[in-house]
A and B are shown apart, each in its own frame.
Chain A
Amino acid sequence: MPDTPPLWVDGLTRSYGRLVGLDKLDLTLKAGECVALIGANGSGKSTAIRTMAGLLEPSSGSVRICGHDPHTEPDAEEARAALALVPDTPLLYDDLTVRQHLGLVALAHGVLDEDTPARIDALIDQLGLTERADFLPTELSRGLRQKTGLACALIRPSRVLMLDEPVVGLDPPSQALLRQLLLDAKAEGKAILLTTHQMRFADGIADRAIVLGDGKVLDRGRWKDVRGRAADRGWLPDDA
Chain B
Amino acid sequence: MPDAVASRARVSDVRRFWQTVLEPPGLLRRLEPAYYVLITLVIAGPFIYGTAREALAEVATPRALETWGPSIALVGLLALVRWGAVQGPVIFSVADVAQLLGAPLRRAELVLGRLVRGMLAAAGAGAVAGALVVVGFAGHDRGVAGGRAADLIVSAALLALLGIAGASLVQGSARWDRATRLARWPVLAIAVGLVMLASSGPTGRDVALWSGPWGWAVGPLVGRSALATVLLAVVTAIAVAGAVVRRGMASTERHLVRAEAREGAVAAIYSMNARYVGRSFASVGSRPGTTAGRTLRMPRTPRLAIAWRDAVAALNAPGRLGEALVLATAGCAICLVNADHPAAVAGGALVVYLGASRLLEPLRAETDKPSRVRVLLRKPQGKVMAEHALVPGAVVLAGAVLAVAGCAIAGELPSHGATAALLAVVATPAITMCAALSGRRGGQLPQSVLAVTYGDTTGMSSLILVAWVVAFPVLAIAVDAVPVSLAAEHGTQVLFGCLALVGSVSVVLAIALGWERQPA
Q: Which of A81, A83, A85, A104 contacts B6 (CB 8 A)?
A: A81
Q: Is A238's beta carbon under 8 Å from chain B?
A: no
Cα-based distance from A207 to B277 in the complex (angstroms): 46
Cα-based distance from A77 to B94 in the complex (angstroms): 19
Q: Which residue of B lies closest to A15 (CB)?
A: B289
Cα-based distance from A3 to B100 in the complex (angstroms): 29
Contact in complex: B106, A74 (CB < 8 Å) = yes
Cα-based distance from A85 to B103 in the complex (angstroms): 10
Contact in complex: A78, B104 (CB < 8 Å) = yes
Q: Is A101's beta carbon under 8 Å from chain B?
A: yes
Cα-based distance from A17 to B288 in the complex (angstroms): 6
Cα-based distance from A73 to B252 in the complex (angstroms): 10
List A contacts of B42 (CB < 8 A): none
Cα-based distance from A55 to B14 in the complex (angstroms): 21
Interface size class, chain B: 35 or more
- A22-30, A105-113, A165-173 - interface stretch: A105-113
List B contacts of A188 (CB < 8 A): 1
List B contacts of A95 (CB < 8 A): 22
Q: Is A236's beta carbon under 8 Å from chain B?
A: no
Cα-based distance from A154 to B4 in the complex (angstroms): 11
Interface size class, chain A: 35 or more
List A contacts of B249 (CB < 8 A): 73
Q: Which residue of A lies closest to B256 (CB)?
A: A55
Report B140 CB to chain A, min CB distance, Å: 52
Q: Which residue of A lies closest to B13 (CB)?
A: A107
Contact in complex: A109, B6 (CB < 8 Å) = yes
User: In chain B between 18 and 58, which residues have their CB closer than 8 angstroms to a CB of chain A?
Assistant: 21-22
Contact in complex: B99, A104 (CB < 8 Å) = yes
Report B312 CB to chain A, min CB distance, Å: 16
- A32-40, A156-164, A195-203, A225-233 - interface stretch: A156-164
Cα-based distance from A188 to B4 in the complex (angstroms): 10
Q: Is A9's beta carbon under 8 Å from chain B?
A: no
Q: Is B102's beta carbon under 8 Å from chain A?
A: yes
Q: Is A205's beta carbon under 8 Å from chain B?
A: no
List B contacts of A107 (CB < 8 A): 9, 13-14, 17
List A contacts of B97 (CB < 8 A): 55, 91
User: In chain A between 107 and 156, which residues have their CB closer than 8 angstroms to a CB of chain B?
Assistant: 107-112, 119, 152, 154-156
Q: Is B227's beta carbon under 8 Å from chain A?
A: no
Cα-based distance from A62 to B99 in the complex (angstroms): 24
Q: Which of A18, A57, A85, A105 contacts B253 (CB 8 A)?
A: A57
Residue positions of A touching B, CB distance < 8 A: 15-19, 53-57, 71, 73-74, 76-78, 80-83, 85, 87, 91-96, 100-101, 103-112, 119, 152, 154-159, 184-185, 188
* 25 A-B residue pairings within 8 Å (CB atoms): A18-B291, A19-B289, A53-B102, A55-B253, A56-B253, A57-B251, A74-B106, A77-B104, A77-B105, A82-B4, A83-B102, A91-B98, A92-B95, A103-B17, A104-B99, A107-B9, A107-B14, A109-B9, A110-B8, A111-B6, A111-B7, A155-B2, A157-B2, A157-B5, A158-B4
